[in-house]
Structure 1
C-alpha cells in the first residue's frame, strides 16, 4: 500500500480549511439573514458579495511575496497603500459629504445583502466610511497583490515600461467604478449600467485578481504552493 505524499497531505489540509471557511460563511450568512430579517429578492447580489469575500480571503491567505530588501518593501507598501485608497474612493468605501464640513458624526450599520452587509457606516462632517465587507476584503486583496507585483518587478529587474504594462489590470476596478459614476443620470444607458454595476464590478474584480495573482507577463505566480 502506497503512502500519501507530503504534497497530497498538504492539499488535503488546504481542502479541509476551504470547506471549514465555506461552511462558516454559509452559517454566518443564514444567521445574518435571520437576525436582520432580510428577504433576498436578487440572489445574484448575495452570490457576488460572497464571491468577493471568499476570493479576497483566498488571495490574502495564499499570496506569498518574494523576499526583498527593506527599501523595495517600503516602496511596495507605499504603492499598495495609495492603490487601496484610490480604490476605496472610486469604489464607494470612502464617500465625501455632499456639503463638505456640514455633515455629522455618527455610526450605524446598514443591513445590505450578505457579503455587502452588514456594513458599518462611520460618518464625519467631511466624509463617511462605508465598510461593506466585500469591498473592504476585495480591495485589501487587490492591494496586497499589487504589493507582491511591485516586489516581483523589482526583483526581476523589469523595466519601468514592462512593469507598467504588467499591471495595466490594476486600473480596471478604478476605471469601472469611475465609469459607473460618470454615466449617472436618467438615461437608459445609465440605468442599465447601474442595474449591472454589481455584475460588471465582480467580473472586473475576478479578472484583475487572476492577472495579478498569476502575472503572466512576469512569469511568476504569487502562490508558491508551500
Structure 2
C-alpha cells in the first residue's frame, strides 16, 4: 500500500488547501464579527464552505490526461454544457421566453445589477435581472459547478484515452453519467420539486455534490486518484 507524505511547501496542494481554509475561517469571523448577522443554522453556514473546499481540492488533485486537440474540444464542449445545464436546473440562469416589449415574465424581481453581502460562500451574491433573463452568481454554487465541469472534462479525456473509441468510452463511463444525474437531482431538490423535501434541499444538493465529486475523482476502473497522463 502506497503512502503519501503531507508537504506544506508553498504552491503544494496541502499549502493551497490550508490557505483556503484559513481564508474561509477569517471570512467567517470577519462577517459575523463585524455585522449584526447571527447563525440560525450551522449547516447553512458550513455547507457552502464544504462545496468550495471540496471543489478546489478536487481540481488541485486532478490533471487531465494528454489528448489530441479534437478530443479536448469535444470534452470541453460537453463539460461546458454540463455546467450550463446545472446552472439552469438550479436557477442560476434563466431565460424568460414570454418576455417582450411591455410584457412581463411574471417575476417580481428588481431589474438591474445588484450586489448583496451575505455569509461567506453565499455571498457576495451578484445578480443581474432583465425582462429577458437573469443571472445569479452564488459563490459556492458557481465554484462547485465549475469544479464538476473540470472533473467531467478530465473524465471524458480519460475515457477517450483508454477506450477503443471515444463513444464507447463515454457511453460506458458510469462515473460521467451518475454525477450529472445526482447533481441535477440535488439542484432540483433546491427548487423544491418535492415540497416535503424543501427544508432539506441544501442537504440533498450538498450530498449530491459530494457524491458527484467522489465518483469523478475516484472513477470506477481508474487507477489512482489523479488523472495522470
Q: Would the alpha carbon gap of residues 166 and 223 (structure 1) be closer, same or farther in structure 2, given more than 3 Å must change?
A: closer
In structure 2, what is the Cα distance between the partners aligned to 1:78 and 1:193?
A: 33
In structure 1, what is the Cα distance between the partners aligned to 2:161 and 2:224?
A: 11
In structure 2, what is the Cα distance between the partners aligned to 1:109 and 1:200?
A: 27
One of 162, 176, 183 as aligned partner of 2:186: 176
Deviation of the 1:17 alpha carbon: 3.1
Deviations 1:84-141 (A, max 9, x none): 0001011221134596344774111233433122211111221211111110000000
One of 8, 26, 29 as aligned partner of 1:12: 8
CA contact (8 A) 1:120 1:132 kept: yes
Alignment partner of 1:206 is 2:206: no
Gap regions ≥5 residues in structure 1: 1-6, 185-189
Q: Residue in 2 aligned with 1:194?
A: 198
Gap regions ≥5 residues in structure 2: none
More displaced stretch, 175-184 vs 206-215: 175-184
Q: Would the alpha carbon gap of residues 177 and 45 (structure 1) be closer, same or farther in structure 2, given more than 3 Å must change?
A: same
Q: Would the alpha carbon gap of residues 34 and 107 (structure 1) be closer, same or farther in structure 2, given more than 3 Å must change?
A: farther
Q: Would the alpha carbon gap of residues 36 and 76 (structure 1) be closer, same or farther in structure 2, given more than 3 Å must change?
A: farther
CA contact (8 A) 2:158 2:227 kept: no
CA contact (8 A) 1:108 1:122 kept: yes
SS of 1:130 mapped into structure 2? strand
Alignment partner of 1:127 is 2:133: yes
Deviation of the 1:43 alpha carbon: 1.1
Alignment partner of 1:89 is 2:98: no
Q: Would the alpha carbon gap of residues 223 and 46 (structure 1) be closer, same or farther in structure 2, given more than 3 Å must change?
A: farther
In structure 2, what is the Cα distance between the partners aligned to 1:199 and 1:89?
A: 20
In structure 2, what is the Cα distance between the partners aligned to 1:98 and 1:28?
A: 39
Alignment partner of 1:73 is 2:72: yes
SS of 2:135 mapped into structure 1? strand
Deviation of the 1:36 alpha carbon: 4.8
Deviation of the 1:60 alpha carbon: 2.4
Higher helix share: 1
Deviation of the 1:57 alpha carbon: 1.4
CA contact (8 A) 1:166 1:217 kept: no
Q: Would the alpha carbon gap of residues 18 and 176 (structure 1) be closer, same or farther in structure 2, given more than 3 Å must change?
A: closer
In structure 2, what is the Cα distance between the partners aligned to 1:111 and 1:141?
A: 23
Alignment partner of 1:222 is 2:221: no
Deviation of the 1:209 alpha carbon: 0.1
TM-score by length of 1: 0.82
In structure 2, what is the Cα distance between the partners aligned to 1:145 and 1:210?
A: 10
